[in-house]
Every structure is written in structure tokens, then in C-alpha cells.
Amino acid sequence: MAPFHLETIAGTIGYDLIFLLIGMGFGAVLELSGFGDSRKLAAQFYLREMTVLKVMFTAIVVACVLVFLSSALGLLDFGRLWVNPTYLAPGIVGGLVMGVGFILGGFCPGTSLVAASTLKLDGIFFVLGVFAGVFLFGETVDAYQPFYHSTAMGRFTIPEWLGLPYGVVVLMLVLMALAMFWAAGVSEAFFGARKSWQEIRATPWKKGHLAGAGALVLLAGVTAAIGQPTLADRWGWIAADGQQQIALREIYVEPVEVVDLKKDLTLRVDVLDLRREEDFNRFHLAGARRVTREELRDPAFVKTLLAAGDNTIVFLASNGEEEATAAWKDLKAQGVVNLYVLAGGINGWLDLYPPPACIATRAAGDPSGDTMQWRFSAAVGDRIPSAHPDRATRDPLPACALEARREEAVHGAAGHDEETAPRTFVRKVRLQRKVVAKGGCG
């Protein structure tokens, strides 16, 4: 499944070599299109020659159609592609500044490099200018850090914004680009060649243009018709590995390890509780968040998990393991890493860290199935010590439990041993860094 984990396949040298080759393709195409010539680039802003717009938008729609078509066909995992995170305000301000630099200097950074490589002296001066600008930025950005980090929206795509399927947006983009190309042709004939409106209207369509436009619309239509991969498709890609991890119980983490990890201040431990609200209210782990399976399929929710830091570990908990394992598959398919299931579920947790007898008792019910095996006389939530065995200072016991303990003391019952939980366990959690490489720019 593309994109490939290049560093493991090709090694560091091979990895760099691939970037070198892609760069060479990039440079060669820019040069071939005439982007090494500042006059050609500047002409865009006088509507005489629309080469910049034509090349840029053709490239965008061609790449866009290919990316989402291969994603629809299950050849490429769009979730693992680098999508420039949106910082709206700095993006717009930076863009306006760049527009000014563009019309004064006649290049953008990439094209100036190509101009310089073919000994265009203005290109060489521009590249030197870019170095100076980049240096100045580093020296001055501290003065406006809050602005630089403002309006951050993370990985935010147009289909997410509009609430439309990816394929439909791709098709819309293609149609929009075609309309722009038509307008560009008119503009060139009008402002460049100074033709009259009658002449422009009489000019026949070029066969090559029609064929290219037809191919783009067709491929975009196919992309929209197939649709992007569903959750089931995505699970299918990784099912072999995933099922093996489940079978080997690699994903099931013992409560003792969870408690241990919660004590580690360098980690962030998130517990997502999948049980019904009643069960959750009766008892849940301290800091747990109740989620439904539907929420786990909501891209907006999953985005928050994906955006979490590399030191975040997510545990899924249900009464047993069944429901949590199903949820694990859902999230795994959506690319969430450092994701585990609470071994034995909440039932197993309570067996290990039992609540006071006056609050809850173990029911002798069917141990299989994903139902609560403990009967609570009150909804205590996380207000009993069982909910946070990791804390040094524990909540006071509920009144009824204190009562029971006092009676025990009076009647000379055996002293309580708080540390009864076995402390040996096999560590399962292996922190994994997110494989989202940084973009080439910025």
C-alpha cells in the first residue's frame, strides 16, 4: 500500500536518492514549461500570458485526480499523505506578501532555483534574496508567534469543509479548472494577441484540449462513482496484520500495566470507555471518556486522536473485550497508533482492584459476553479507589465501607492488605512514532 515506508525499504541513502530523483523531475518540468523565465511568470499578472495559471492548475488537477483515483482503487492510503495543515490567517497574510514578492521579483522560490540553475542572473539574485528573507523570518518571527500559530485547523480538506465526498469535490475542481482554462485562453487572445471578441468566439476548440479535458472529467467521474474507501475496505488492507495482533494478544494490556503507565508523567494515557451510559455512571476509570462506536467513525473525532502527541496512548475499554476489540479495529483502520485494549475489560479491572463490598459485588453470571459482571448498589463513577489505583492519595472510602472497616477492626478481623494486586506482567505497550513525514516546504 502506497505511500511506502521508504526508510525501511530503501535505507537512508536510497531514501535521499528518491527525493533527489523526484526533485530532478520537478526541476526539469519547471524548466521545460518556461518557469525559468521571469517575464513569462510576470506576464500572468498582466493577463497577456496565462502560463503560470495553466501549468499550475493542470498540475493540481492531474495530481489530484490521480491521488484520489488511486485512493478509490485502494492503491494509495490518503490518510498517510502529508496534507499541509491549515493556518488560515498566516497562510493568507503570507500569501499576500508572496504575491508582492512575486510581481517585484518575478519568481517564486522553486522557479528561481530553476532559473539560477540555467544561469539566469536575475534568478541567482532572487535565490540570494530568498536566503535573506528566510533568515529575516527566523530572526523576527518571535515578535509575532501568537499570530504565526493562530487559526490552526490542522489537516483540513475542502471535502471536510463542504461535507461532500472526495470524488465529488475532485470532479468540481476539474470542472472549475476547465472553466478557468477557457477564461485564460480568452484573456490571452484579448490582452495578449489583441483579438476582437468576434474573432475569439470564432476560434474553434483544439482537439487536444478537448481530449485532455474529456480524459480528466472521465477519470474524476470514475473517482466520484467508485467513492473513497470505507472503514471496512480500510480494515481489509490491514486485516491480516491486525487479526494476528489480536490472536497473539499483542493489543491487550493488563490493568497493572495501565496503572503503571498512568503514573508516568511523560505519557498521556487516554481511556475511551465504550460501555452504555448506565454502566459508565456506575463505575469508570478515573479520566475515562465515554464514546460510542458511531463517534469512533466520525472523522472529526478521529482527527483529534490522530493529532494527539507521540506520547499519547489510547486504551479502549468495554465490560469484557469484545466491544473494545471491535472498536480497536475501527480506529486501527483509520490510522490511529499507540492504540490498545484493556485486557479483561472493566470486569477484569474490578476483579483486580475490587470495590468495597458494600458498593458492589461480583455477580456469578455468564463470564463470557460483554456485560457488566459487577452489581453496583450505587452509581459511584470514579469516586472509589478502584477507579484510580495509580494515585498516591486516594479518595476516602465511601461511608458504608468505612463503617464496614470499623466493624472489622472492632471484631478483630484480619488486617486489610491494600497491596494484593500481583505486580508481575508482560509489557505490551510499545510507543510508536507517527509516520507522518513533514512536508517539503515550510
Partner 1 sequence: MKRKEPRPYVNPYVGGALLGVVLFLSFYITGNGLGASGAIAHVQAAILDLFAPGHVDRVATFAEMAGGTRNALDSPGVFMLLGTFLGGMISGIANRRFRPETRKGPGISTGTRWALALAGGAIMGYGARIARGCTSGQALSGGAVLSVGSFAFMFAVFAGGYALAWFVRRLWN
Scan residues 87-126 and list those touching partner 1 (CB under 8 A).
Answer: 87-88, 90-123, 125-126
Pick the binder of partner 1 from 11, 14, 59, 249 (CB under 8 A): 59
Pick the binder of partner 1 from 74, 81, 165, 308 (CB under 8 A): 81
CB 116, min distance to partner 1, A:
7
What whole-number distance in Å separates Cα of residue 346 and Cα of residue 425?
A: 18
Pick the binder of partner 1 from 84, 196, 230, 311 (CB under 8 A): 84
Closer to partner 1 by CB, 98 or 358: give it: 98
Q: Are 319 and 274 in contact (CB under 8 A)?
A: no
Residue that is written with C-alpha cell 453470571 in the block: 365
Mapping DSSP to helix (H, G, I), strand (E, B) and coil, where does residue 247 land?
helix
Q: Are 396 and 385 in contact (CB under 8 A)?
A: no
Does residue 74 touch partner 1 according to CB under 8 A? Answer: no
Q: According to CB under 8 A, which residues from 153 to 172 bind partner 1?
A: 153, 155-161, 166, 169-170
Residue that is written with C-alpha cell 520537478 in the block: 26
70 burial (CB, 10 Å; 0-12 / 13-18 / 19+) is middle
Stretch that binds partner 1, among 42-50, 279-287, 347-355, 398-406 (CB under 8 A): 42-50
Contacts of 287 (CB under 8 A, 6+ apart): 262, 269, 270, 271, 382, 388
Closer to partner 1 by CB, 105 or 398: give it: 105
* Alpha-carbon distances of 168 from 157, 177, 180, rounded to whole Å: 13, 14, 18
**What pairing do the DSSP bridges indicate for beta strands 252-253 and 339-342?**
parallel
Does residue 73 touch partner 1 according to CB under 8 A? Answer: no
Cis amide prior to 356 (ω within 30 degrees): no
Pick the binder of partner 1 from 11, 14, 135, 232 (CB under 8 A): 135
Q: Show the binding pattern over residues 263-282: x = contacts partner 1 (CB under 8 A), - = does not.
A: --------------------
Pick the binder of partner 1 from 74, 129, 165, 287 (CB under 8 A): 129
Residue 292 C-alpha cell reads as 460510542
Cα-Cα end-to-end distance for the chain: 27
CA angle 346, 348, 351 (to 5 degrees): 110
Q: According to CB under 8 A, which residues from 8 to 27 bind partner 1?
A: 15-27
Does residue 85 touch partner 1 according to CB under 8 A? Answer: yes
What whole-number distance in Å separates Cα of residue 388 and Cα of residue 299?
A: 31
Q: Show the binding pattern over residues 181-210: x = contacts partner 1 (CB under 8 A), - = does not.
A: x--------------------------xx-
Pick the binder of partner 1 from 141, 210, 225, 413 (CB under 8 A): 141
Pick the binder of partner 1 from 86, 245, 292, 361 (CB under 8 A): 86
- Contacts with partner 1 by CB under 8 A: the residue count is 136
Closer to partner 1 by CB, 32 or 357: give it: 32
